[in-house]
């Protein structure tokens, strides 16, 4: 009997020794094949770049993963405790593996007949998310445990929590608690109440299944589970838990995707960012980008335009493009590239080259005044004119839109009533070389074989180019360079300023010339072709434009604060229909766009030459 017992003990010893050797070899093998945890020590995940408008309002995210890194000290304790209670109540006690938690989860799952609790610790979840695949194998599970143990030896609990709360997927494309807080509640994580915190903490096991947006009842049940767990482990009282259990979940989803009404503008921002930042930096993300767009105006103005088009055109509405520029700094506040970005992402405001029609005339008038070819009180004939045509042996006889002639007319009235024959006569007085110089200064890329038909706007410009050129008038001769991005910071919240755009302009005309032109252009809106603009209720100036066969309608107008340009037409050059002039269709659209924001009642800028300083004897001084 004793010999048999000794034999059994011997075999048992050999078996367990062999098993130990196998386990040890397996452990060494798995340990050698494990990924390094060194990257977690300085954890900085890929993030979105968050776009803010001119008034610091969030527009949306740019990046593959919607994630915003926040340090643990920015996450309130009740948010942290909600996740710990729901996912790993013994987080601060275990060393990466919670054997008691595994048994408890197994028991509760057996009782419920379904999985209601997971056995993985928060540390294990970090391993699974960042270091290993999600395959369900024994070897992967063993690796997960080994790595969790290693992480606990090398990182503090707070460092592990920071990684977990910033990396975990919480549904609706949101990674981490800050992106999720914005997505579901339009709040920062530090603004969440306990109800909202428990709702987010209930998401990890099934972000889609427990989404308060898609499955409100399941989300409510899961939130209540989290609250009860918080009470069970002593994070909150049962009274607190019960009070919130009786409350609904009130979501306030933030459309953190780029809104449709700003999509054309954001395309420009993307292109600008690629010029400013290296590709790897953009890919890593985490930048706060402040752009020049006024989000509220963009939304309201765009909606006003579309509603107006819907009223005028029951079907087959033409395309539109619009640009609004701040006269203070050249910042683009509004940009509309078309009716519907989802139907066509072609940005007509930037890339759509169309004939300018009579909207080109103010520059010709200004050049004539600037060079002294004409004076403000000059009188010219509005009469038929015949000139040699572009083709040899053929004449060119430009006429007025209405087929009528007004005889001798002042420069101001000729512009107000948009007389074509006067424009051609002024261009003839200036000569081709002066005209080429003028349009080169304005930044128009016209062909070198320019001819006098330019006086009628037969050459093509984009809405952005033309509107920028008009900024010379409210800025008394200086044309703004466009600004789309104001500033870039290396962190989404706070951070160091790494880029700041500077307002830049260049002189085109003198202040006296543009002051006279501002008076002329106010005549256009007072009694000329752009009278509809007066309904804005503040001092306004501008010019209409209509091309041959009514293919394009323009209105570029400005107040003291903003210069806005509108183009209406079809992409393939189809006629709008007879009578659809700049004054009839583009000007009302401009008015609807401008009504999307408030305007200060300030006069259009004018040049007032200061009298010379005099000494006590009344003699002029050099100062």
Torsion of CA 522, 523, 527, 528, to 10 degrees: -100
> Catalytic amino acids?
87, 358
Crossing angle of helices 138-154 and 2-32, rounded to 10°? 70
Which distant-in-sequence residues (6+ apart) come within 8 Å of 354 by Cβ?
A: 460, 461, 462, 463, 547, 551, 552, 567, 569
What is the CA angle 491-492-497, rounded to 5?
A: 50
Closest CA to 536 of 555, 550, 554: 555
Q: Which residue has the tokens 């989290």?
A: 226
Which distant-in-sequence residues (6+ apart) come within 8 Å of 127 by Cβ?
A: 143, 144, 147, 148, 151
> Where is 276: in which H helix or E strand?
helix 263-276
Closest CA to 533 of 569, 558, 560, 568: 558
SS3 content of the chain, % helix, strand, coil (to 5): 45, 15, 40
Which distant-in-sequence residues (6+ apart) come within 8 Å of 399 by Cβ?
A: 384, 420, 421
d(CA 301, CA 332): 14
Closest CA to 185 of 221, 224, 213: 213
In the 8-state DSSP scheme, what is residue 260? Answer: G
Closest CA to 495 of 487, 484, 504, 507: 487
Which distant-in-sequence residues (6+ apart) come within 8 Å of 221 by Cβ?
A: none
**CB neighbours of residue 570 within 10 Å:** 14
Long-range contacts of 14-17 (CB under 8 A, 24+ apart): none
**CB neighbours of residue 503 within 10 Å:** 13
| Strands ordered across the beta sheet of 485-489 | 58-62, 49-52, 288-291, 485-489, 497-500
562-569 and 319-326 strand pairing: antiparallel
The alpha carbon of 127 is separated from its chain's Cα centroid by a whole number of angstroms, namely 35
Q: List C-alpha distances in Å: 441 to 328, 505, 533, 582, 607.
A: 21, 12, 28, 26, 22
Q: Which residue has the tokens 């806005």?
A: 564
Q: Which residue has the tokens 């595994």?
A: 102
Q: Exposed (0-12), middle (13-18) or buried (19+): which is 22, by Cβ within 10 Å?
A: exposed
**CB neighbours of residue 121 within 10 Å:** 27
Can you spell out the DSSP letters for 501-543? ----EEE-S-HHHHHHHHHHHHHHHHTSTTGGGGGGSS--EEE
């Amino acid at each position: 009997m004793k010999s048999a017992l000794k034999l059994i003990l011997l075999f048992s010893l050999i078996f367990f020794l062999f098993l130990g050797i196998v386990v040890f070899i397996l452990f060494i093998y798995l340990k050698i094949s494990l990924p390094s945890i060194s990257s977690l020590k300085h954890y900085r995940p890929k993030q979105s770049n968050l776009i803010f408008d001119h008034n610091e309002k969030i527009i949306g995210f740019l990046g593959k993963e919607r994630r915003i890194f926040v340090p643990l000290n920015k996450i309130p304790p009740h948010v942290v405790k909600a996740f710990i209670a729901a996912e790993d109540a013994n987080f601060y006690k275990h060393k990466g593996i919670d054997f008691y938690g595994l048994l408890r989860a197994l028991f509760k799952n057996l009782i419920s007949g379904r999985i209601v609790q997971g056995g993985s610790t928060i540390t294990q979840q970090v391993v699974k998310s960042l270091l290993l695949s999600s395959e369900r194998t024994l070897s992967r599970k063993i690796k997960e445990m080994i790595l969790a143990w290693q992480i606990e030896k090398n990182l503090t609990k707070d460092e592990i929590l920071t990684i977990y709360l910033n990396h975990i997927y919480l549904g609706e494309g949101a990674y981490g608690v800050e992106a999720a807080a914005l997505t579901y509640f339009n709040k920062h994580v530090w603004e969440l109440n306990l109800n909202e915190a428990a709702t987010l903490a209930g998401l990890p096991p099934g972000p889609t299944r427990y989404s308060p947006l898609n499955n409100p009842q399941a989300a409510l049940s899961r939130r209540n589970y989290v609250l009860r767990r918080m009470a069970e482990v002593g994070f909150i009282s049962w009274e607190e838990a019960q009070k919130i259990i009786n409350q609904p979940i009130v979501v306030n989803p933030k459309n953190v995707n780029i809104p449709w009404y700003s999509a054309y503008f954001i395309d420009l921002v993307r292109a600008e960012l690629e010029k400013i930042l290296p590709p790897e930096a953009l890919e890593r993300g985490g930048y706060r980008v402040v752009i020049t767009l006024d989000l509220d105006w963009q939304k309201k103005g765009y909606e006003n335009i579309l509603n107006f088009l819907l009223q005028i055109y029951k079907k087959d509405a033409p395309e539109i493009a619009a640009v609004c520029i701040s006269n203070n700094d050249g910042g683009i506040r509004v940009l509309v590239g078309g009716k519907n970005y989802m139907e066509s992402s072609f940005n007509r405001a930037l890339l759509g080259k169309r004939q300018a029609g009579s909207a080109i005339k103010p520059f010709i008038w200004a050049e004539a005044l600037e060079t002294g070819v004409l004076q403000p009180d000059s009188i010219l004939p509005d009469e038929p004119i015949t000139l040699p045509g572009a083709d040899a042996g053929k004449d060119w006889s430009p006429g007025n839109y209405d087929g009528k002639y007004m005889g001798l007319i002042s420069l101001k009235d000729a512009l107000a009533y948009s007389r074509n024959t006067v424009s051609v006569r002024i261009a003839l007085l200036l000569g081709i070389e002066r005209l080429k110089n003028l349009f080169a200064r304005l930044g128009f890329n016209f062909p070198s074989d320019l001819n006098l038909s330019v006086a009628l706007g037969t050459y093509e410009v984009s809405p952005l180019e033309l509107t920028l050129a008009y900024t010379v008038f409210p800025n008394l001769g200086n044309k703004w360079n466009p600004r789309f991005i104001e500033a870039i910071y290396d962190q989404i919240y706070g951070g160091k300023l790494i880029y700041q755009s500077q307002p830049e302009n260049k002189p085109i005309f003198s202040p006296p010339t543009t002051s006279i032109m501002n008076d002329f252009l106010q005549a256009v809106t007072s009694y000329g072709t752009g009278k509809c603009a007066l309904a804005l209720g503040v001092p306004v100036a501008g010019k209409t434009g209509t091309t041959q066969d009514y293919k394009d309608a323009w209105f570029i107008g400005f107040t003291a604060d903003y210069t806005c340009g509108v183009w209406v037409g079809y992409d393939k050059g189809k006629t709008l229909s007879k009578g659809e002039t700049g004054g009839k269709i583009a000007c009302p659209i401009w008015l609807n766009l401008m009504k999307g924001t408030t305007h200060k009642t300030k006069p259009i800028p004018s040049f007032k030459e200061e009298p010379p300083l005099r000494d006590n004897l009344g003699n002029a001084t050099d100062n």
